[in-house]
Amino acid sequence: MKRILFVIALAAASVASAQQPAGDPKAAEPYISMCTGCHSIPGYQSSFPHVHRVPKIAGQSAGYLEAALRAYAKGERSHPTMTGIAKTLTDKQIVDIAAYYAERGAASK
């Protein structure tokens, strides 16, 4: 039951985010080089400081990606690399990067 509620909440969040003004994917391009090393390869694993499965982020909804990056920046979600990276991003960079990855997945499907 918990799981079903979670899925409904996620669906509601992505509907809400579709109505928000989108970020600018072009503006995000200079920062994407920070992410591709880990996130561009499906099924890739990062081995520092432990082996982590790197989630695929291309094609996820922009709202979800934004929320995840903000959660790392605020320390609500914690992972050594992601927290470190998210803390260096401005709010605009987060929105733009989320738009970039959301659009990229849609194009490569």
- Binding-site size for ligand HEC (CB under 6 A) equals 20
* Distance separating the N- and C-terminal Cα atoms of the chain: 31
Phi, psi of 67 (to 5 degrees): -60, -40
Name the segment binding ligand HEC (CB under 6 A); options: 2-10, 16-24, 79-87: 79-87
Determine if 74 is a binding residue for ligand HEC (CB under 6 A). no
CB of 106 to ligand HEC, least distance (A): 16
Alpha carbon separation from 87 to 6, 8, 26, 67, 95 (Å, rounded): 26, 29, 21, 13, 14
Q: Which residues here bind ligand HEC, judged by CB under 6 A?
A: 31, 34-35, 37-39, 46, 52, 54-55, 57, 65, 68-69, 77, 79, 81-82, 85, 97
